[in-house]
Structure 1
Amino acid sequence: MPAEAMPSREAGNVAVAFSGEGGEGEGGVSVTAAATDAVVYNSALAIAEAHVVAARDAYIAGEHEAAGEMFAHPVSEVLFDLQPVLTAQGVDDFSDLLLDASAAALSGASVEEIAAHTDRIIAALRDASTKAPDDESSSAFVAAGVCADQIERAADMYRIAATSDHYEPYLDGYGFYKAARAAFERSEAAIRSENPDAGVSIEAALHLLAGAYPSALRPSALDADQSALTVAASNVVLSTGDK
């Protein structure tokens, strides 16, 4: 995802700025904040997961070159800058898992092989998540913050995708939507119990995003209501921003 494609913003308590300056990685995560903030740390991992899931689904849909590129993106966009934080938290470098998946996709591996690569990467991401910095946030608060970050990214990427015929922005957004949905499904009960408003706003945003991103393949027309997506994403951010 090109760093210059998106504007700087504050997403709840997740500092995101789409440039490589000021301690920010290209994926838009404050590396400094990730060392102490569980939401920022886990949002960085979710960015990687978003790319991996998008790559897998694009591969299944026949977009092998795009999938190969998507598997590799988190290495440069997230992990390169984040690795010192991961190392400090006791997480081994798993960049090779992504590069191996990328090579497999570009060499025409079977769908089953790509699925296996994806499973290994997600397992590594889940393990890394268990080693997040302890900032005394509840698991529900962290999960809701990750949902907010991914939902806002998905809404932003849809707007960008609608301005051109390029496939990558759409596929990025699709991945962010899928990562948000996965995060919500894993923690839905806890989020709804601790913060009912967040549960409602996340569900509403995911419903809209499901219509905007029906599959990993870009539709012939991107005609979802961008204003509604933006409002829904903003509602999620507002409902999840306070501990």
Structure 2
Amino acid sequence: MSNQKPADGERSRPLRDVAEDATGFGAPEIRMTRDLILNPGAVAAAQGQPDSPYPRSLRYFLTWNGIFLVLVTVLGGFQSQFAALPEPFITWAMQTSGKSRDAFLGDLDQWYSLAAIPVISLFLYLPLAFLFRRWTGSRAAGSGQAFAYVSGWSIYGAAFGLAALFVPAVRAASPVLTVLILAVLFLRMGKGRWWTSGGQALWRFVQLLLGMLIVFVPAVLIVTAITVVGALYGP
């Protein structure tokens, strides 16, 4: 019997496999997370390339946000936000659904968690993909960059979102923080791709914000409708 010890890479490989199988997050996803924080321009440049070292941006986006929702659920979910709903509405909802206050708020939390990410991300993808495809001249690169951009935003937003669950001041500043994150990512990811001068960067960032705002309103209305109807009439 051979007493030769496996190399470090061979010894650590099973652990990486278990982590990837359990969470969907392996070495490529970790690399993409790191570069979205430290070097987002490299992630944007790799989109649409056959030899990209990163996973497909749609897969990464869904995996990352699934992990984020698990963290939010462990920390108490979104119930603290729903607790601020008007008391007449909660009273009416309890009477209509036949549920207790805690049960109704819990169902709101579950339905919101289920609907928010897929609905809002789909709506946000549409204007981003349209603009990035037009600015880059590449359908594949523009589509990948759209989800990479939203993924980068969600990484930074996750930190502020978790803080907002416990710090009211962060929750109050969330609109300003959101625009700031979008602007920083736009400048870091888009230099030489989406813009080539300061004036062009400003104008195109305004276009991006307007596009996201236009689709965000109906997306939130749809999520709200799904959440309320599901909480009222769901089991």
Same fold, judged at TM 0.5 (above): no
**Which has more helix, going by share of residues?**
2
TM-score (norm 2): 0.26
* Higher relative contact order (CA closer than 8 Å, sequence separation 6+): 2
Bigger radius of gyration: 2
